[in-house]
Amino acid sequence: MCGIAGYIGKNQASDFLLDALKRLEYRGYDSAGMAVLSEDNALNCIKSVGRINSLEEKIKKTQLNGCLGISHTRWATHGYPTKNNAHPHSDCAGDIFVVHNGIIENYKILKERLIKSGHKFKSDTDTEVIAHLIESHFKDNLEQALLSALKHIEGAYALAVISKNDPGKIVVAKKSSPLVICIGENENFIASDSSAVVGYTNKVIYLNDNELGIITENSHKIISIARNNEIHRNHCNVDLDISEIQKNGHEYFMLKEIFESPEVMKNSTRGRIIPEEGLVKLGGLEVLDQNKLRNINRIILIACGTASFAAMVGEYMLEEYAGIPVEVELGSEFRYRKPIINSKTAVIAVSQSGETADTLASLEEARRKGALTLGIVNVVGSTISRETEAGIYNHVGPEIAVASTKAFISQMTVLALLTVYFGRIKEMSLIMGKRITEEIDKMPCLIEKVLKNDKQIKGLAKKYSKYKNFLFLGRKYNYPIAEEGALKLKEVAYYVHAEGYSSGEMKHGPIAMINENFPSVFIVPNDSVYEKNWSNMEEIKARNGKIIAIATEGDENIKNIADDVIYIPKTLEMLTPILSAVPLHLFSAYMGMELGCDIDKPRNLAKSVTVE
C-alpha cells in the first residue's frame, strides 16, 4: 500500500515526483503530498486529500522549484484522510521531512515522551513521531540522526527523509516494507517499486530489511542498521516497457489486464512445457536438490485475498494429479497457529507483489521450522523472491489495477505447471503428463474464445446492475472461482454485496436469502460434479431465484434452467477455473462501470498490503 518516490539530481524534482505518484496510484491511496528543497535551501511542502490531480493543481499554482524532493501517496492506517495526516510529515521547525510506509507499533509511547520533552504534533499519524525523533537526535548529520531514531522504533517501515540542515542527500531505511534505490546519470531516485522509474532508468538496487541508504546526485551508499558498516551491492537491470504501465486504448487498466489473459498464459508457460514428453521445466527450481523435491510429502500454500483462491485451485490440482497432501493457509492466520512442519514440507508463498506482509511473516515462521520455502511471485526482485530458497516467476508484467485479474490467471497456470512438475517426478504417467501439458498449450486460444463474449457479458452487467446482492456458486475446482467471482464484484462494483459458496453448502444457510431479487451465478461446466450442480440450481429455481450460468460450449440443456448463459470452451476439468474466471472478471468490471465506480482504484483498497 502507499507509494514513496524521491529525486535528487539536476532537474526539477516535482516533475518526476508527480509522474512517479501517478504511476504508483495503483497501490491505493486517499491523499498525497511532496516536499521539495529549493536552491535557496527552503523546504516547501504541499499536500492534498483525494486524487493526485488535486495535488497537481496546487503544485501548478505554487511553482514548487528545487532539484531534491520526496513524495508520497497515503492509505490511512492511523488517523482520518485529512490534509494534516497526509505525508510528508515534518519536525517542529519544518527543517526535516519524512515519508513512510508501514506501521510504527510503539508510536503512542514515543509520542507521549516527545510531547513531554516539548515537541508539538500536527497530525494523528504514527509517522510524525519519526520526524520528531530524528529532530531530537539531529547533530548536523541526517543519516546518524536516523540511525539513532530507528533504535527506538518498533514496527514496519520504508522511510525517506530530507533535511534543509544537511542538504544534498536523501536518507532511506527499510524494514518489512519495500523500497528501491534507482540509479540514473547525474541523478538518482528512490521508490516503493520500480514501476515508478520506468523511462528514467532501469538500474535498481533492492534494499533489504534493516538497511539504510544515503543517496546523493552522483552516489549511493548502503549501511547495515545493526552493524553500522557499509554494504556493497550491485544494481539489477529491470526490463520494463512504458507501454506496460499505460492503458493502450482501454478505458481502464482492469479491462486491459483482463484482455491480456491470453498473452499472460503464453508468458507464464513460455519455455516451460514440453508437451511431447509430458514434462514441465521450471528453471527456478533447478537450483534445488531434486531428491529433496522428490521427498516432499506435504505442501502448504500460503496466500491472501485473490491469491488464496488461486492456491485453493492449486490444492485440488496437486492432490488429484501429483498425489501430495496440500493445505491452503491464509497468510494472516498461519503464523498464529503452531503448524506441524518438517524438512519434508514445502511451504509455497503465492503473491502478485511479492511484498504481502502477512505472507512474508508466514514464510519466516516456516523457515524457522525447517520447511523448504518456495515462492510464486510476479515482481522480479521482490522480497518474497529474495527470501525464499527458490521459486517461479509469473512473468506477466506490471498489474496496475488494484483488483487482480491477469496475475490470478497466471497463478493458476503456474500451479498447473507445478502439478505436472511434481507429478512427473513422483508417479504421474507419461500419458497423463502429455494430456495436461498439451491442454495447457491450447489455453491462450481458448481464453480468446471466452473474450469474444465481451459484448454479451457487458449486456448482462447492464441487465443485472439493478440488483444489490449476488450469490456465486461452484463445486470442486470451481468452488474457489465462486469465491473469486464474489470478491471481484465486491471490490470493483462496490455498492454491491456478493457471497461466494460451494454449491453444496448453499442449503446450509445461504439459500435463506434467495428470492426473485437475489440472483445466483453458477459455475457449472461439464465436469465430474455437473449433476450435483444441477440439483443445486433446481433448489434456486424453486425459490424464484434468477440464475446466470457459466457453462461448457454445446450444453444446450442448461438454457432450460438458467436465465442467462455464458459459454466457455471444453477443456480438462482441472483447467476449467482458468476459463471460468475470465467471464466473471469481465462481469465484475462492467458492473462496476455501470454503477459509476472507478474499477482501477476501488475505495478503501490498496494493491499491495505491506502492513499487517
Dist. CA 174–CA 206, nearest whole Å? 10
Dist. CA 413–CA 423, nearest whole Å? 15
Catalytic residue (one of 256, 476, 488, 607)? 607
In three-state secondary structure terms, 551 is strand
The CATH number of the domain holding residue 236 is: 3.60.20.10
pLDDT of residue 241: 60
Inside any domain, residue 263: yes
Dist. CA 234–CA 588, nearest whole Å? 43
Considering the domain architecture, whether residues 439 and 516 belong to the same structural domain is answered as no
Dist. CA 70–CA 68, nearest whole Å? 7
- pLDDT tens-digit profile of 139-148? 999 999 999 9
Dist. CA 385–CA 403, nearest whole Å? 22
pLDDT of residue 428: 94
- pLDDT tens-digit profile of 514-558? 889 999 999 999 999 999 999 999 999 989 999 999 999 999 999
Lowest mean pLDDT among 28-32, 296-300, 424-428, 566-570: 28-32
**With 80 as the cut, is the pLDDT of residue 605 above it?**
no
**Cβ neighbours of 339 (radius 10 Å):** 17
Mean pLDDT of the chain: 91
pLDDT of residue 558: 97
**With 60 as the cut, is the pLDDT of residue 137 above it?**
yes
Look-up: residue for cell 518498533?
154
Catalytic residue (one of 2, 67, 182, 597)? 2
Range of the domain at 108: 3-244
Inside any domain, residue 418: yes
Cis-peptide into 88, omega within 30 deg: yes
Rounded to an integer, what is the distance from CA 228 to the centroid of its chain? 33
Considering the domain architecture, whether residues 132 and 72 belong to the same structural domain is answered as yes
Cell of 164: 534543509
Dist. CA 302–CA 347, nearest whole Å? 7
Considering the domain architecture, whether residues 81 and 28 belong to the same structural domain is answered as yes
Rounded to an integer, what is the distance from CA 135 to the centroid of its chain? 35
Inside any domain, residue 266: yes
Count of structural domains, the chain: 3
Segment 200-222 shows an average pLDDT of 93
Considering the domain architecture, whether residues 204 and 330 belong to the same structural domain is answered as no
Which amino acid appears at position 101 of this protein? N
Considering the domain architecture, whether residues 344 and 261 belong to the same structural domain is answered as yes
Considering the domain architecture, whether residues 292 and 165 belong to the same structural domain is answered as no
pLDDT of residue 78: 67
**With 70 as the cut, is the pLDDT of residue 368 above it?**
yes
- Write down which residue in 244, 278, 298 finishes a domain: 244
Cα-Cα-Cα-Cα dihedral sign, residues 400, 592, 520, 605: positive
Look-up: residue for cell 454491491?
496
Q: How confident is the model at residue 54 (pLDDT cuts 50, 70, 90)?
A: confident
- pLDDT tens-digit profile of 475-522? 999 999 999 999 999 999 988 999 999 998 888 888 888 889 999 999
Considering the domain architecture, whether residues 441 and 461 belong to the same structural domain is answered as no
Considering the domain architecture, whether residues 459 and 437 belong to the same structural domain is answered as no
Considering the domain architecture, whether residues 57 and 42 belong to the same structural domain is answered as yes
Q: How confident is the model at residue 364 (pLDDT cuts 50, 70, 90)?
A: confident
In three-state secondary structure terms, 94 is coil
Considering the domain architecture, whether residues 417 and 485 belong to the same structural domain is answered as no
Lowest mean pLDDT among 234-243, 405-414, 585-594: 234-243
Which residue(s) pair with 279 in the sheet?
A: 274
Backbone phi, then psi, for 24, in 5-degree steps?
-95, 5
Considering the domain architecture, whether residues 311 and 221 belong to the same structural domain is answered as no
Give the DSSP letter string of 286-314.
Answer: TTS-HHHHHT--EEEEEE-THHHHHHHHH
pLDDT of residue 259: 96
Inside any domain, residue 603: no
- Write down which residue in 406, 430, 448 finishes a domain: 448
Residue 460 near residue 560 (C-beta atoms within 8 A): no
Dist. CA 582–CA 577, nearest whole Å? 9
Inside any domain, residue 602: no
Catalytic residue status for 607: yes
Backbone phi, then psi, for 518, in 5-degree steps?
-130, 85
Residue 462 near residue 594 (C-beta atoms within 8 A): yes
Inside any domain, residue 151: yes
pLDDT of residue 609: 56
The CATH number of the domain holding residue 471 is: 3.40.50.10490
**With 60 as the cut, is the pLDDT of residue 453 above it?**
yes
- Write down which residue in 417, 448, 479 finishes a domain: 448
Residue 20 near residue 2 (C-beta atoms within 8 A): no
Q: What's the full length of the chain, in residues?
A: 612
Segment 563-588 shows an average pLDDT of 98
- pLDDT tens-digit profile of 76-133? 676 677 888 999 999 999 999 999 988 899 999 999 999 999 999 999 999 999 999 9
pLDDT of residue 390: 93
Residues 6+ apart with CB under 8 A from 285: 293, 374, 390, 391, 392, 421
Q: How confident is the model at residue 2 (pLDDT cuts 50, 70, 90)?
A: confident
Q: How confident is the model at residue 24 (pLDDT cuts 50, 70, 90)?
A: confident
pLDDT of residue 26: 62
Inside any domain, residue 607: no
Which amino acid appears at position 593 of this protein? M
Dist. CA 234–CA 508, nearest whole Å? 57
Residue 447 near residue 578 (C-beta atoms within 8 A): yes
Inside any domain, residue 612: no
Considering the domain architecture, whether residues 275 and 186 belong to the same structural domain is answered as no
